[in-house]
Structure 1
């Protein structure tokens, strides 16, 4: 199915609200939150270097994440014409090549701004930009894989911003504890990204995108996503106990127990309840991230 670019034939320039919708502000929260987790885990007061905090949040959210959304929507315009024809590009509200232009412009802006964060911030931003294009754009297009695609997004949404926040504010390589906790939550985010694929099953199947809900079926994919989200948190709890931080371990264990309760409800109707779980279980998941960041701040 081709993309309908003729719904608004008189429009040659996108409306500002359509551009904002293209950048999906609701998706900016996870990388911004992870960046703040990195700052907290490093034990550095954000008020001591607030320009770096603000710039990092701007990069993680509107610029880099917004760029990745624009790039993904441009490369997915034919899939979206099937699944979500109301989106800015297939509906024609962002006409012509504007989606691609915005994605390229934000890529260049991200690299330019990241230079102000120092070598760690610059390097991490370059990795994030390359990963965003590798996920969405051919010939690499890792989105076609239900394993590599969600893994890459989880790493760039949770792990990389966490690492960057800690590295930028401490002006050096983060500690082992920071790296391992950030990596564990990034691995768990694979499950979150798999749940996000449930909304596009019909289009993914027709366009040959092998997401896990398409390959495994909704029920099996949902069970796998729940397992992938839960196991890293079990390891985080275990590490906090090993590091003599039982109160923080108990708080995350309580969060995980509530998530498991919600997971049972999710599994009764994975396709219908995936958005509900994103608003409940995933909120608990990211809350646990900040608890872990507070626990390990300044070393253990």
Structure 2
């Protein structure tokens, strides 16, 4: 008579499914071995990182002042989001994992490359496929928009180059906490914003300057991601802000930059006559400050993910508010 098979506790199954979901999205702390090569490839692309780029396209379309809700415009905007998120952000994240495999072997050994779940050559192939597909979509968007100068293609090439020098030696911008985090912040705020604006309007220097200013808040957000890698960064001599200034001071720098530069955008909106939307943007900063005090500043190593989940929705809504205000003001 065979022994009864042990029952799996519902809590265990639920935890396993949660860990797999976190791992598929590219979130930290999900030590689950995956066997499907397609799931492993998706994990390398870190889908959780696509969201701000997709949102940036929405903000740029809003700031153009020309977006209308037609089926054609929705399809074109979706193609721009595909370029910015799954393709070029996926390229960036896969390449970053390739060049960070030694750091990940310390901080996140379960990642696909250090764990051996995917061979290096297959990771390299994925990098090239995603890059070329992203550039092809950018060129198609230029054709649709009838640009005299292929600005979408230029933005895609420029952003891809920044991604390369961020991750790859000899420059490897991420070795410097200030340069690397600003490059990351600009890539997640300014670049997709420019793409959405240029697709439906005419990109101008005022929009470029404002979004680069906004990207200084993005620098603060990028610092939040450094806390999960302090041990590996310190071991390999990378000068992230938590390594240079210590965990508590780096957390304070991060929170200050996130708040101050959003407030700066709100002040600018007041001066261009968008007082109502400027006030709304300021109101959206308040819960961010609250969650900084509740979670992030008290224990950034433990609460970084909880803080991001709580506070960042208010930040991204504020970005859209700023975009709508810019479009309404005709900036």
Paired position in structure 1 for 2:177: 146
Q: Normalized against structure 1, the TM-score is what?
A: 0.91
**Is the 8 Å Cα contact of residues 98 and 120 (structure 2) preserved in structure 1?**
no
1:294, CA displacement in angstroms?
A: 1.4
Q: Among 282, 290, 293, which residue is 2:323 paired with?
A: 293
1:199, CA displacement in angstroms?
0.3
* 1:205-228 Cα distance to aligned partner (Å, 9 max, x none): 111111101111110000001111
Relative to structure 1, the CA distance from residue 186 to residue 216 in structure 2 (aligned partners, 3 Å threshold; closer, same or farther) is: same
Runs of 5+ in structure 1 lacking a partner? 1-7
1:257 is aligned to 2:281 = no
Whole-angstrom distance in 2 between the partners of 1:113 and 1:190: 28
* Cα offset, 1:253, TM superposition: 1.0
**Cross-structure match for 2:192:** 161
Aligned-pair CA distance for 1:116: 1.1
The answer to whether residue 233 in structure 2 is matched with residue 204 in structure 1 is yes
Give 3-state SS (helix, strand or coil) of 2:290's partner: helix
Aligned to 2:156: 125
Residue of structure 2 equivalent to 1:105: 129
Within a 5 Å distance, the mapping from 1:8-87 to structure 2 comes to 15-44=37-66, 45-47=68-70, 49-87=73-111
1:238 aligned partner = 267
Of 239, 245, 248, which residue of structure 2 is paired with 1:216? 245
The answer to whether residue 302 in structure 2 is matched with residue 272 in structure 1 is: yes
Give distance in 2, aligned partners of 1:93 and 1:46.
Answer: 43
Alignment of 1:166-185 (within 5 A): 166-170=197-201, 172-174=202-204, 176=206, 178-185=207-214
**2: CA distance, partners of 1:112 / 1:61:** 14
Say what the alpha-carbon RMSD is for the aligned residues. Answer: 1.6
Q: Flag structure 2 segments of 5+ consecutive residues without an equivalent.
A: 1-32, 143-149
Give CA-to-partner distance per residue, 1:244-269, whole Å, 9 cap, x none: 22211111111111111111122111
In 1, Cα distance between equivalents of 2:118 and 2:317: 35
Q: Alignment partner of 2:170: what SS?
A: coil
- Structure exhibiting the larger radius of gyration computed from Cα positions: 2
How far 1:96 sits from its partner (Å)?
3.2
Counterpart-to-counterpart distance in 2, 1:96 and 1:29: 27
**CA displacement at 1:63 relative to structure 2:** 0.3
Point out the more displaced range, 126-135 or 274-283. Answer: 274-283
Secondary structure (helix, strand or coil) at the match of 2:327 reads: coil
Is this contact kept in 2: 1:188–1:230, CA < 8 A? yes
Shift of 1:242: 1.2
Q: Distance in 1 between matches of 2:229 and 2:172?
A: 16
Q: TM-score, normalised by structure 2?
A: 0.83
Q: Which has the larger displacement, 87-96 or 201-210?
A: 87-96
